[in-house]
Structure 1
């Protein structure tokens, strides 16, 4: 992991999808008040800020003034044609404006060969920025093994994987799959939680029904303990309890609960591991 980054990335970030449709100023206030060092941003949130009168080149100063950095910028959608290509181009242009720790990409359609070539091309265009593919069991990159194949195909030092705990377990992953070799390719560990709900599709669960780390049925502590045991250095952590219900709460309340629950599961994992590690 350490070789992916040219500088030390934010150790903990409030993920972008914690605040869908929230005003940009509120995002900064809530993340800063809860002492997050980093935030995630989507291209949509950047456009929304522009529509509220904040020029795109003003964003870095406002973020820095809040004591924050951009930990992750998303999302480049691979193997897409039509209007989506314009959104992808804006994400890539914003890399130079926001200087994020990493950029996330995903693929929901397309042939495997094209997805692989598109991923490699993004990596080559931005050699100074980690480009991390997010696998999802309902996408065209369904599991960790598929994500790692894209990294191998790209063959560049900045090619990486997003290790989202929900997607990892829901795609059939087990903690024994997390080896030091695997974790060297992980740009970020994304935390949240879910509980099994019979009849609920995985895409709906992931996009609408998540909760805070440690509040659902996933083995969050075992997952984090395994990472701490085998990784040379613990990857950065991003937290995204994507939830329609939580979006009804004030963002500062959500940010505080994200911070408290995340620190708790990290502490429990350290205690279970028997030796401290740095996040």
Structure 2
């Protein structure tokens, strides 16, 4: 069974973690001004908007008024106990309110069997929404092969994968693993870049030290060329240079640089 979007998704989105602490109106203004077709949101950003007096039910209208779509909603944490389960519940409640192109999920705990069962159950609870699992080398779903096993176990049309370039290379994957079969499971390709920093843990690198696409040492061109050569249909792209340093800059400056660098690497890889 191959994944397919029920509707046309936003082809180029400004990822949610580009603006962890920014006010919701700034997010919309910057993404729209730079020409993105969609944005991502986290549950925390939705709560922050609510605390600023924007009702959750208002969010879809405001996003649409800005000429944008909600490309991705984050994050359901599989097998997470304690207070996190309440955040997971809110993410799931928001799926019906916000109607995102896809909802993202990940697992940082749990044995493989339980993770697989919880992922399948999440997919079944939301049959009309693509559910994309994000593998990370420091999580309980470490690589592309493991993520594909989850999709196969779920066996539902909405089960899919987030193909993040940083996690792909840092998990030890090779571009040869990106073939037509693998890409049929991919809901979105996430772009950013990193450069090796001796002694820096992978989780810290991924969550705090990324940069714009093509600015680091990853083989972005080879990664994108392989996708172009192997994909029947090009997946949507989300750009997420997660960086403590970039968060110190005005969001409209970051958004413009995200757009320029992304367009350049897409053009270099003959994807535009």
- TM-score of Structure 1 vs Structure 2, range by shorter chain: over 0.9
- Where does residue 63 of structure 1 map in the other structure? 63
- Shift in CA distance, 2/19, structure 1 to aligned 2, threshold 3 Å: farther
Which digits, 9 at most, give the CA deviation of each residue in 1:241-270, with x for residues without a partner? 000000000000000000000000000000
- Where does residue 220 of structure 2 map in the other structure? 220
Which digits, 9 at most, give the CA deviation of each residue in 1:171-211, with x for residues without a partner? 01111110000000000000000001111110000000000
CA distance in 2, matches of 1:49, 1:26: 11
- Where does residue 41 of structure 1 map in the other structure? 41
CA distance in 1, matches of 2:3, 2:65: 29
CA distance in 1, matches of 2:187, 2:210: 22
- Shift in CA distance, 40/238, structure 1 to aligned 2, threshold 3 Å: same
- Where does residue 110 of structure 1 map in the other structure? 110
- Where does residue 266 of structure 1 map in the other structure? 266
Which digits, 9 at most, give the CA deviation of each residue in 1:33-85, with x for residues without a partner? 10100000000000000000000000011101111100000000000121111
Report the CA distance between 1:4 and its aligned residue.
2.0
Q: How many residues align?
A: 272
Matched residue of 1:4: which SS? coil
- Where does residue 204 of structure 1 map in the other structure? 204
Report the CA distance between 1:3 and its aligned residue.
4.6
- Where does residue 236 of structure 2 map in the other structure? 236
Kept after mapping to 2: 8 A contact 1:2/1:233: no
CA distance in 2, matches of 1:10, 1:3: 16
- Where does residue 274 of structure 1 map in the other structure? none
Matched residue of 1:238: which SS? strand
CA distance in 2, matches of 1:219, 1:199: 21
- Where does residue 165 of structure 1 map in the other structure? 165
What's the TM-score once normalised by structure 2's chain length?
A: 0.98
Kept after mapping to 2: 8 A contact 1:188/1:235: yes
Which digits, 9 at most, give the CA deviation of each residue in 1:79-128, with x for residues without a partner? 01211111001101111111100000000011111111110001000111
Kept after mapping to 2: 8 A contact 1:103/1:132: yes
- Where does residue 125 of structure 2 map in the other structure? 125
CA RMSD of aligned residues (A): 1.1
- Shift in CA distance, 116/219, structure 1 to aligned 2, threshold 3 Å: same
CA distance in 2, matches of 1:82, 1:229: 44
CA distance in 2, matches of 1:124, 1:68: 28
Report the CA distance between 1:148 and its aligned residue.
0.6
Matched residue of 1:142: which SS? coil
Which digits, 9 at most, give the CA deviation of each residue in 1:111-164, with x for residues without a partner? 111111110001000111110000000000000011011101101011001000
CA distance in 1, matches of 2:86, 2:214: 38
1:237-256 correspondence to structure 2 within 5 Å? 237-256=237-256
Alignment pair present for 1:143 and 2:143: yes
Unaligned runs of 5+ in 2: none
- Shift in CA distance, 196/210, structure 1 to aligned 2, threshold 3 Å: same
CA distance in 2, matches of 1:98, 1:201: 35
CA distance in 1, matches of 2:108, 2:196: 24
Unaligned runs of 5+ in 1: 271-276
